[in-house]
Amino acid sequence: MIRTRWFTFASAPKCGCVWFRKLIEELGIEYRGARWHEPGHVDSLPSITIKRCPADWLQSCYQNLNSIVGPPLVDCFLDLRMNNQTFEDFAESYIAEMPGGISRMFRSYQPSTYTLNLATIRSDVVEIFTRLFIPFDIDFILEFPDQNVSKRHAHVSDHLKQRIVNAA
């Protein structure tokens, strides 16, 4: 968790933390802490987290997690990753062995005062920063470039995506 004068922030890996960190640094928002992926809450400050579509998150997890990343609710996905050669096998193992695992992992970052959706993150940040009276340039946020974006190596069928979402 990191802490600014306006809010705290923590989010699961592969959910846009790099984008958010670079954005607040560019806006000159100072923060303390370095554990972006460690859940936590300070009662006196609003908290912010980011969520993303479970199927997209699982695919990004498969493509990018190669070592222990921190919170146990995320680390458990590494065992599945190491034991499966294809994303489809990885997803099927998740569905069979860990139903509800993605939801439990995302819930570990709650309670959160504000939740950013990765798909609408720019407009969500504008709305939240407005509510928190944080000074910002709206065009700067809306045009801030993507950071550290996972490349899609394989098409995932709509059927498999829906199965992942249902098992999330």
Of the chain, the percentage scoring pLDDT greater than 70 comes to 85
Preceding omega of 111 cis (within 30 degrees of 0): yes
Q: Please tell me the predicted confidence (pLDDT) of residue 46.
A: 92
Mean pLDDT of the chain: 83
Q: Please tell me the predicted confidence (pLDDT) of residue 154.
A: 62
Of the chain, the percentage scoring pLDDT greater than 90 comes to 30
> Can you read off the two tokens belonging to residue 16?
């846009």
Assess whether pLDDT exceeds 60 at residue 98. Answer: yes
- Kindly give the pairing relationship between strand 2-3 and strand 8-9: antiparallel
Average the pLDDT over 105-128 and give the result.
Answer: 88
Across 32-36, 57-61, 82-86, 116-120, least confident range: 82-86
Domain positions in the chain: 2-162
Assess whether pLDDT exceeds 90 at residue 120. Answer: yes
Average the pLDDT over 5-31 and give the result.
Answer: 91
Q: Please tell me the predicted confidence (pLDDT) of residue 126.
A: 97
User: How many secondary structure helices (H) and strands (E) does the chain include?
Assistant: 8, 4
Q: Please tell me the predicted confidence (pLDDT) of residue 114.
A: 92
Q: Please tell me the predicted confidence (pLDDT) of residue 85.
A: 74
pLDDT in tens, 137-162: 999 999 999 876 666 556 778 888 88
> Can you read off the two tokens belonging to residue 4?
């600014």
Q: Please tell me the predicted confidence (pLDDT) of residue 71.
A: 60
163 with 94: CB under 8 angstroms?
no
pLDDT in tens, 52-67: 888 888 888 777 765 5
Q: Please tell me the predicted confidence (pLDDT) of residue 37.
A: 75
| Collapsed DSSP state (helix, strand, coil) of residue 115 | strand
